[in-house]
Amino acid sequence: MTYMHSFQPKSFLSGPIRSALLLAVALATVSGCHKNVASTQTPDALAPTPAPLPPMPTATLTADPAAIDVGQSVVLNWRTTDATTATIDNIGPVNPNGTQTVSPATSTNFHLTAKGDGGSVEASVRVTVRIPVAPVAPPDTTATADMGSETAFHESVADIFYDYDSSDLRPDAQASAVKSASYLVAHPEIRLVIGGYCDDRGSAEYNLALGENRANSAKTALVNAGVAPARIRVVSYGKEKQFCTDETEACWQQNRRAQFSLDR
């Protein structure tokens, strides 16, 4: 006779061990979820927004009127935006916005520089000063032409020299102009050219204007001393023709001149 017994499979893990494993799996699952949530926060999401750059200043400079006769005045008018300081050459520091009346003796370039937190900007305007032309007396047909010799001309009509960045006549230049005018009045047939020269510092454009001012200041001195303006022609060479090329003050002084030549 065969006896049949029922067989029930039992777990290989006891109750306490099985409970410990289930708890470990649950903790790992929760920890993994937390890591996934944290990984979604990128550094870019936390970075601050950069501050905007300060605006670049703007500037305008005008002159009213732009052309005057010697002795007259002109009104400079300047406007800036986003500027904290402003300076005008030959005037100095000024308010960022304003006006000023000036009376230049010769044609002048006025240059404005405005600065702010966003940088600096420049503006310029030129004021032209007209040299008066005196009426010319009719020529004396009974007088004989006397041009004189070129050697005598250069001995009696000497070049005039100027200080750095200036077209104003120094006292020695005023005395030289009076002596030159005396010789030219005594020789009314002489016509002359006055060339304005500068040393090699500064831009070519700036030195052309400075050379013109120097030639015109020399012409004005001769006219005031009695020389007819129609006998005088002016030209500016700026820094293009140098009498001396050494980088010394003595050399630069030789190049800052108004040169007198016979206009043949």
Query: DSSP characters for 194-216?
Result: EEEE--S-S-HHHHHHHHHHHHH
Asked whether residue 258 falls in the same domain as residue 154, the answer is yes
Contacts of 190 (CB under 8 A, 6+ apart): 147, 148, 153, 184, 231, 262
Q: Is residue 176 part of a domain?
A: yes
Asked whether residue 126 falls in the same domain as residue 154, the answer is no
Asked whether residue 156 falls in the same domain as residue 250, the answer is yes
Asked whether residue 124 falls in the same domain as residue 169, the answer is no
Asked whether residue 154 falls in the same domain as residue 199, the answer is yes
Asked whether residue 113 falls in the same domain as residue 177, the answer is no
Containing structural domain, residue 255: 150-262
| pLDDT in the model for residue 48 | 77
CATH number of the structural domain spanning residue 110: 2.60.40.10
From the list 192, 191, 207, 194, the residue with the least C-alpha distance to 240 is 207
User: Which CA distances in Å does 114 have to 88, 108, 239?
Assistant: 9, 20, 28
**Which of 130, 164, 188 represents a domain boundary (last residue)?**
130
Whole-number Å distance between alpha carbons of 40 and 42: 6
| pLDDT in the model for residue 25 | 57
Asked whether residue 251 falls in the same domain as residue 171, the answer is yes
Contacts of 74 (CB under 8 A, 6+ apart): 63, 64, 65, 66, 68, 101, 102, 103, 104, 127
Low pLDDT (below 50) residues in the chain: 1-3, 5-12, 33, 37, 141-145
CATH number of the structural domain spanning residue 236: 3.30.1330.60
Asked whether residue 155 falls in the same domain as residue 243, the answer is yes
Strand 192-197 versus strand 232-238 pairing type: parallel
Q: Is residue 29 part of a domain?
A: no
| pLDDT in the model for residue 145 | 46
Contacts of 103 (CB under 8 A, 6+ apart): 71, 72, 73, 74
- Report residue 38 CA to chain centroid gap: 58
| pLDDT in the model for residue 39 | 52
Q: Is residue 110 part of a domain?
A: yes
Q: Is residue 52 part of a domain?
A: no
Q: Is residue 19 part of a domain?
A: no
| pLDDT in the model for residue 6 | 46
Q: Is residue 11 part of a domain?
A: no
| pLDDT in the model for residue 142 | 44
Q: How many CA atoms are closer than 13 Å to the CA of 44, on its beta-carbon side?
A: 1
Helices and strands: H and E segment counts in the chain: 6, 12
| pLDDT in the model for residue 247 | 86
Asked whether residue 154 falls in the same domain as residue 256, the answer is yes
Whole-number Å distance between alpha carbons of 155 and 56: 57
Q: Is residue 222 part of a domain?
A: yes
What are the beta bridge partners of residue 77? 62, 99
What's the total number of domains in the chain? 2
From the list 263, 143, 167, the residue with the least C-alpha distance to 220 is 167
